[in-house]
Amino acid sequence: MNKKIKKNIWYSLAIIITTIAILYVFIANYDLHIKNSNIEKLNQNNKNTIQALEGKIYDKKAGIKVKGELVSKFLEESIENISKENLDIITETMKNEDQSWNIEHSSYYVEEETGLGIDSKGLLNIENFGMDLRNRNWYKQAKNLKEPIITEPYYDINTGKPCITLSYGLYKEDKFLGVFSYDIFLEDMKDSLVDDLYDNKYGIYLVYNTGKLLIPVDGSMDDENINEISTNWEKISNNELNYIEYIDENNKNEIYGCFYNSELLNSKIFSFNKESIINKNEKNNKISAIVYISIISIILLIMVNFYIFYIMNSISGFKPKRKYLKDIKKISKTLSDIQILAISIKNLVNIKAEYGNKICDKVLDNYASKIKSIFLVKETMYSYSEKTFTVILTEKLKLEEIKSIVEELQNHKTKIENNNIEIETFIGIVNINSTELKNCKTEFKLQKIVDDYLKTDCKFIDVDYKNLIKKQGAEKEKLDILKEAINQDRIIPFFQAIEDVNTKKIEKYEVLMRIQQGRKYLSPYPFIVLAEKNNLIEAIDLKILEKALDYKNQIDKEDKLVFAFNISGKVLNDSGYLNKVSAIVDAKNIKNENIVFEITETQSIEDIKKFANMMNEFRKNRYRFSIDDFGTGYSSVYYLKNVSAYYLKIDGSFIKDINDNEQNLYLVKAMVNMAKAYKIKTVAEFIENEEIYNTVKELGIDFGQGYYIDKPSKEIRKR
């Protein structure tokens, strides 16, 4: 049995064991799933009941105002002296109202002056009511509010039924006449709603918030559900329980009950299932179905596993990353020296953004084929990440061979679906001797090399492993300095003027980062690179922004100065980052048009189209954007085409020797022409003397920045 078959068997067994474990957990939680589903239905039933109940009451609340106004028109100075004609009209109105609604209720009027009343049958006195209704709270509230009111539920004196009273104070020419009321009997309303909304699966109870039962499901005050409500009432009222569950004493079924609050009635509506929610036969059938489905799934997983480990690997010819780490460890036991090649596509993110995933995959396949044609020993070729391939060479390459490989890969172009795509490559060669090879073992992470150099212009390195370790140590020291500065709040803003080269007026100030160390101020590079690699750049950018705007508020009371802030493309992969920046600007009460965002490290932006849309939204709020370090890296022209920027800052490496390097002069001319075509203002940095300043002006560049104009300083100098 060969190694591939053994490996596939082990993977298949792992998949089977995982599937069985998932199946076991699913079955173990099956009852819980049914229970939660039932509770969800009970909660929805309660919600529907309350909404329907309150809806009817609110309808009646609106109606009582209309009827009350009608009744008040026929009331005279006193009920004792009311004419028969008006009395008949009022009683007929109440009779029609009582008959118009299919829920039992009664309407009546109680006069303020005498305490006498009128209902649908005629005149009433205090003896008819059983008490002087003018002393009731609902009467007094209706009198004072001049709006319909709804009482909390109570038991009717005459019928003993739970009810509520809707009341409305009647006035005539600002004189209070009395109160027009409806008594609504909730039991009949509840039964009507339950009949309309549900079948016999649920028991419905309305419980007043003192724990007093108002509406039993069957008119009986003695059943298990009521006992459970009473027993658990204290926990229910304190919100310690969301539902009630118990085993029915008679048939041992599992019973669940849920409740829902009605603020209008100051009550809770309870629903209980009347039958068992766990059907054992149904459960067994479903478990059997799950078993069959799991068996089929296992077979399919084995087939997919076979495809992954046999078909896909045989096509690509590259081993996975985990195999690379294992092979490094194995090789360290037998070989003395090796070379590791890291081959990475620098502009893969842009290819994917511009052409889509389908073409990007074809580019990768094409590039992989190119690598395979150069390195024929497939046993030591690895796919380290989506854009990085590695090759372990047990025999070191000669200088001529290295030059040939670099030239062949770095000049590689491919044509896919009529698209001519240029692939920009980074190649890193790491030399490791026997001692280093044994010590590094699996801790050796190739991606550290690639990540360090992909963000630079560098396309090729040939380095010893010991130098990498030394570099990592130096980086750790600088990272410790940076973290300490952040913790001690020693990250501070410096300001450098940007001048209009035609008018020689200051257009804006770029806000730069410095690290305060005693009396010294450390330059931000290479700390910014470390901050980006270690996810510290967002905190630094936001701190610089906040401090700079505090300073602006001190020296620029009229808010006239424009500040430009550097923002790393890496943090812009978080769509919420610019919202955080905007929140700080708003909190400091700074005009949006006085803020410019200079986007650095544009190659770190993963989804340029999404970012461009986000920028457009911020432009609507008058924020301005600048593409920084234009001309360096592989993404400049691509970003110029896709990002709607206001400024384009030409990288200082082209400006500082523009009068001595004819090639740079032509390149800058081309950049200026491109910017003008896109109607974008240009900024030249690194203007260090008058000769450079004059050349920049002659080329038609709009703004300048550099030591000749202004040096960065902690405070803005008066001009």
CA angle 376, 378, 380 (to 5 degrees): 110
Distance between CA atoms of 401 and 403, rounded to whole angstroms? 5
CA angle 405, 395, 408 (to 5 degrees): 5
Distance between CA atoms of 466 and 73, rounded to whole angstroms? 103
Per the rule left: phi > 0, alpha: psi between -120 and 50, beta: everything else, 680 is: beta
* pLDDT number for residue 92: 87
Distance between CA atoms of 709 and 506, rounded to whole angstroms? 10
Measured CA to CA in angstroms, residue 520 lies from 362, 474, 480, 714 at distances of: 52, 20, 17, 12
* pLDDT number for residue 317: 63
As a three-state string, the secondary structure of 433-493 is: CHHHHHHHHHHCCCHHHHHHHHCCCCCEEEEEHHHHHHHHHHHHHHHHHHHHHHHCCCEEE
* pLDDT number for residue 407: 79
Burial of 193 (0-12, 13-18, 19+ CB in 10 A): buried
CB atoms within 10 A of CB 101: 16
CB 287 within 8 A of CB 74: no
DSSP codes joined into one string, 366-410: HHHHHHHHH---GGGEEE-SSSEEEEEESSPPPHHHHHHHHHHHH
Burial of 650 (0-12, 13-18, 19+ CB in 10 A): buried
Distance between CA atoms of 463 and 676, rounded to whole angstroms? 42
β partners of residue 243: 258
- Mean pLDDT split into 10-residue runs, the chain, 719 residues: 54 70 70 77 82 82 87 87 88 78 73 90 84 88 88 78 87 89 77 58 76 61 76 80 76 78 83 63 61 70 57 56 75 77 80 80 83 72 77 79 80 81 84 71 58 69 79 82 92 95 93 92 83 85 94 93 88 80 93 91 69 82 87 61 85 91 91 91 94 95 95 85
Map residue 234 onto helix, strand or coil. Answer: helix
Per the rule left: phi > 0, alpha: psi between -120 and 50, beta: everything else, 623 is: beta
* pLDDT number for residue 28: 64
Map residue 157 onto helix, strand or coil. Answer: coil
